[in-house]
Amino acid sequence: MSSLERPVVPIKTMTRRSLLDRAIRSVVAMPAIIPASALGRGGRRAPSERIVMGSIGVGGQGTQHVVGGVWTPTGGLVGRDDVQYVAACDVNARNLENARQLVNQRYGNQDCRTYRDFRELLARPDIDAVLVATGERWHPLITAAAARAGKHVYCEKPLSVTIQEALAVRTIVRRYGIVFQVGTQQRSSDAFRRAAELVRNGYIGALKEVVVGVAGPVANVDCQLPEEPVPDWLDYDLWLGPAPWRPFNSAYVGSWMAWRDFSGGEMTNWGAHHFDCAQWGIGADESGPEEIIPPDGDEIPALTYRYASGVVMTRDPDRMAKECGQGNGLMFIGTEGKIAVWRYDMRTWPEGLARVKLKPNDLRLHVAHNHHTDFLDAVRTNGVPGANEGPAVRSITVCHLGNIAYELGRPIRWDPGRERFPDDPDASRLFARRMRPPWSLS
């Protein structure tokens, strides 16, 4: 089943009957004084017209989302009146209290509910969608639980810690028919879409090479830091979740992306953005590379991916910086020109290529001028956002494949059709990892 063939899960807030059911269920939690905004006065939409959301994970990235706004391409927060957060969840009590205050301030209410355990938030029948902004070790599990509860999901990147987890997310999302979007907001950038369209329509000739500028894998493979006392504001066991048990150390909580138990490093952090858009320009949203070769310091100076089409992709931030003046981005190189793109700008060779207008019959890619709006509009219309589970799984797979090639220190083969390593037990061993009991995706 393709991402365009998913069964429909209608938003529950759009009918009079569902609104009545919600009112009955939530009457005990209603404030004694109901603000005019809650009744749809003062320029606000009525509750029956709002998408009701909860946020799971309200730390740094999560608090950028939790006030119910959307991000403009230049970073400014713009409020929407057709969405309202009513609940927040975090294992960090400090983050949770901060989020509660932000939500209440944003909506002029005093009834934002807080939870330590995401399962309690997902059990609420009045919530239509959730925003997941925890560490990536939690992303697959919470997405799966939300899908089973009938909640639409905006999930921050990286999508997973392993390839197997990402594939499981795709299966579960499609099985339950929810709207799913991953937080790779470059899919909603005019510059990245424009670059991909020019490449896909042959305006740089035949695509030969893609250079991706992104930092590499985690520096700390072994998590062996000394034990520290667990602070009283943190539920550390729930923070760890499915990750291997380690005695508490504040460095894990403060910078989990530096540790392999919890993350794939910058390969999956920024890589989730740039490899994703590279795949978009290559036309590999439903495919991937066939061979991945780690650098050998001689003939292979950079991590190299080879595609069946003959396209070669490398992770080479130094080359990006040297040729484009930007080390964090990507560059498409064809037989008749090249395009470099980064947040939120584009440079072309020849220069006039940037001004080319697409022809009527040229391929057009998904347009979404704002990433949050793309998700919310899909929830309202039962549509499919651009950064849906299809390309999201394929691009995070590319990131994981690079990490596996680095870890093994040798070339690996990948079958993008079967999404498996052919005849490679060592690589297959890194395809998945056992989750710490009692957590499981099954």
CATH entry 1.10.3470 includes domain 3-134? no
Q: Give average pLDDT by consecutive 10-residue segment, the chain, 442 residues.
A: 40 37 34 40 63 90 59 45 89 94 85 96 97 96 98 97 98 98 95 97 98 92 92 97 96 92 96 98 98 93 98 97 94 98 92 96 95 93 97 98 97 98 97 96 88
Which pLDDT value is given to residue 105? 86
Hey, do 3-134 and 187-218+266-429 end up sharing a CATH topology, with the first three levels equal? no
Single pTM value for the model: 0.88
Which pLDDT value is given to residue 139? 98
Which pLDDT value is given to residue 47? 63
Give domain limits for the chain.
Answer: 3-134, 187-218+266-429
Which pLDDT value is given to residue 65? 64
CATH entry 3.30.360.10 includes domain 187-218+266-429? yes
CA dihedral (256, 259, 263, 269) positive or negative:
positive
Which pLDDT value is given to residue 66? 59
